[in-house]
Amino acid sequence: MSKNFKQDVLSRRTFAIISHPDAGKTTLTEKLLLFGGAIRDAGTVKGKKTGKYATSDWMEIEKQRGISVTSSVMQFDYQNARVNILDTPGHQDFSEDTYRTLTAVDSAVMIIDSAKGIEEQTLKLFKVCKMRGIPIFTFINKLDRQGKPPLELLAELEEVMGIESYPMNWPIGMGKEFLGIYDRFYKRIEQFRVEDTEKYIPLNEDGEIEGDHSIKQDSLYDQTLEEIMLLNEAGNEFSEEKINNGDLTPVFFGSALSNFGVQTFLETYLQFAPSPQARKSSMGEIDPLSEEFSGFIFKIQANMNPAHRDRIAFLRICSGKFERGMTVNLPRTGKQVKLAQSTQFMADDRSTVNEAVSGDIIGLYDPGFYQIGDTLTVSKNAFQYEKLPQFTPELFVKVTAKNVMKQKHFHKGIQQLVQEGAIQLYKTVKTEDYLLGAVGQLQFEVFEHRMRNEYNVEVIMEHVGSKIARWLVDEEVNENLSSGRSLLVEDRFGKKAFLFENEFALRWFQDKNPEVKLYNPMDEQ
Ligand code: GDP
C-alpha cells in the first residue's frame, strides 16, 4: 500500500482519559480540543451551574447528573498527529463501558487530583490498563490549589500502583504560591500566569537559570532545584521502552482549569505515545500496517441522535484502510456487510467519514445486526479479535411497562438499550417475567430515564436485589429446580442461567444437584 497509508497510520494517537470523578477529565479534554481547534469555546464544565455543558457530555442524562455516562469519541489534528480521544464515564457504575473502551486504545492518560492523590476509581482503571499492558501517562492536576507535596504523590504512584514514574516536569510551589513548572524535558521553566513572551525561561547545561531573574530570589526556586537534584540522582531513568510496556509512567504537573501545562503535556505526550499497536486475534497478532482492513466493535449506542432514533456501532480499525461503501465479512455470522453509512465524531457533531485507517474509531450505522465484540474484516480468513471483557451482573430488577398499551414501545426500547451492553435482559423460565441485570444501580436509573425520554414509556422497576448468576453448561434442566433462592432464567441469547440469592444458596444448590454443571463467564477471561 502507499507510503501515505503508512504515514497516516503512524500519525494516529488513540487514547482514553481515566480518572476518578472530579479529577478534571472533562476540563482537560476540553483544553486539548481547544488546542486541536476542534472546538472554539470551552463549555463550562459543571453545566448545572451555568447552563452550558461540556462538549463531551452530550446526553440528556449526563446534563442532569453532571457525569459522563457514555464514552464519546473526539478527533482532531495537532502538529503532525491525528488524535483520537475516547472519553470514558468516571462513575464506577459504568466501569463496564470504560473497560470495553480501554480495549480500543493504544495508551491512556491518567488524571490525578493533586490534593486527593490516587482515588479508588483511578486505581481500578489503572489496574485494567496495567493488565492489558497499555502505556500510561499521568497528569497531576489542580496545581493552582494547595495539594499534597509532589514527592509524596510520586511515592503514592509507586507504592499504591506499583508503577515506576518519571516526572517530565516538576512544580515550583503550588496553590497561592504556584510559580510554574520546571520542565526537565524541554529544559526550561514555564511560568504560571505570565504573558506569552516571558512565559518560558531557558535553563543552562546545569539545569539552572543563566544570569539574573527575579524567580531566582524566591526560596521555592531553590527548593525545586534541590528536588530536581534528588530526582536526577535517586529517581528512575527515562526509558521509552518501559513507557511502551506500561512499566513506567511519565508524569506531568499542571492545571487544566487555568490551561497551564496542558499544551506542554500534549506536545510531549504526542512524541512518546505509541502509534496504533498490533492486536491479538484468533490468527495471531494483526499488524496495523497490514493492508487488509479489519477492526472490532467495542460499543453500540442507540439514539445518539434522538431525532433519528438510530443506532451506532463504534468500530476500532486495527489494520488497513476503511473506505466508505466497502463490503466486509462479519465472521460471527458468516455474512457480508456493506459499510455505506459511517460517521466520525466530535461530541454531538457528526460528519460522514469516507476514509479512515488503523487506529481510527468510526461509527457504523447499525440496523441491528452487530454485537459488541464483533470483528469486521475483508480478509478471507474468518478470524476474530480477542473477546471483550464481560461482566456478570450482580443487581437485578423486575421490569414492566406502567401502561399495558405501550407494550410495543416497551419491547423495542428494552431490546435496543440491552443491545448497548450496559444492562442485561433475562426472562424467568416459569413466569416469563422480564428481569434486568446490571453491575451498578445507576444503570437502572439511566435505563428508566432513557425509556421515558427516548421511547416514551414509563416503566415500573421492582427490586429483586443482588444475585449471583451462573450459567448452565447443559441446556437440559429440570425446571422444577427453579425457586425464589435459585431462579431459573434465560438470557437474551436463549442461554439458561440460575440466579442465586447468595453464596450459601449457590453452594447448597451445587451440593444437592451435582449433576447440574454451572459456570461463570467471567472465570474464562
Ligand atoms: P471530571 O469529573 O473528572 O470530568 O472533572 P471536571 O473536569 O468536571 O472537574 C471537576 C471540578 O474540578 C470542576 O469544578 C472543575 O472546574 C474543577 N477543576 C478542573 N481542573 C481544575 C484545576 O486545574 N484547578 C482547579 N482549581 N479546579 C479544577
For the stretch 178-226, pLDDT in tens is 999 999 999 999 999 887 778 999 999 999 999 888 999 999 999 999 9
Residue 495 grid coordinates: 442461554
How many secondary structure helices (H) and strands (E) does the chain include? 14, 31
Banded model confidence at residue 42, pLDDT cuts 50, 70, 90? low
What percent of the chain shows pLDDT beyond 90? 62
Compute CA distances 102 → 136, 252, 282, 375, 391, whole Å: 12, 21, 20, 17, 15
Residues in the chain: 525
- Does the global pTM surpass 0.80? yes
Question: Which of 29-38, 54-63, 408-417 is predicted with the least confidence, judged by mean pLDDT?
Answer: 54-63
Annotated binding-site residue? 87: yes
Mean predicted confidence (pLDDT) in 464-479: 90
Q: Residue 96 — very low, low, confident or very high, per pLDDT cuts 50/70/90?
A: confident
Cα–Cα dist 109/125, whole Å: 11
**Which residue among 27, 68, 258 has the greatest number of ligand 1 atoms within 8 angstroms of its CB, and so is best to mutate?**
27
Does ligand 1 come within 6 angstroms of the Cβ of 374?
no
- Of 299, 289, 359, 356, nearest to 326 by C-alpha is 356
- Tell which residue, 487, 490, 489, 498, has the closest CA to residue 520: 498
Per residue, what are the HEC states of 127-178? HHHHHHCCCEEEEEECCCCCCCCHHHHHHHHHHHHCCEEEECEEEECCHHHC
Contacts of 467 (CB under 8 A, 6+ apart): 394, 395, 396, 437, 487, 499, 500, 501
Ligand 1 contact, 142 CB (< 6 A): yes
pLDDT of residue 308: 62
CA of 113 to the centre of ligand 1 (A): 9
Residue with cell 464506577: 92
Phi, psi of 116 (to 5 degrees): -95, -25
The interface pTM score, or ipTM, of the predicted complex is 0.99
**Ligand 1 centroid to residue 26 C-alpha, Å:** 7
Quick: pLDDT tens for 367-404. Answer: 878 888 999 999 999 899 998 877 778 899 999 999 98
Contact 317, 358 (CB under 8 A): yes
Q: Exposed e or buried b for every residue in 88-121, given b needs 16+ CB within 10 A?
A: bbbbbbbbbbbbbbbbbbbbbbbbbbbbebbbeb
Tell me the CA–centroid distance for residue 254 and ligand 1, in Å.
Answer: 12
Mean pLDDT of 95-109: 89
pLDDT per residue over 52-74, tens digit each? 444 444 455 455 444 444 446 88
Confidence at residue 49, expressed as pLDDT on a 0 to 100 scale: 35
Distance CA 300, CA 9 (A): 24
Q: Is the confidence at residue 131, as pLDDT, over 60?
A: yes
Domains of the chain: 1-270 (3.40.50.300), 277-375 (3.40.50.300), 393-517 (3.30.70.3280)
Let me know: does 174 contact 143? Beta carbons within 8 Å.
yes
Judged by average pLDDT, the poorest of 44-48, 417-421, 506-510 is 44-48
Q: Is the pLDDT of residue 317 over 80?
A: yes
Map residue 72 onto helix, strand or coil.
coil
37 burial class (0-12, 13-18, 19+ CB within 10 angstroms)?
exposed
Sign of torsion over alpha carbons 281, 287, 292, 293: positive
The annotation status of 4 as a binding-site residue, yes or no, is no
Does the beta carbon of 109 lie inside 6 Å of ligand 1? no
Please give the residue that has the higher pLDDT: either 153 or 302.
153
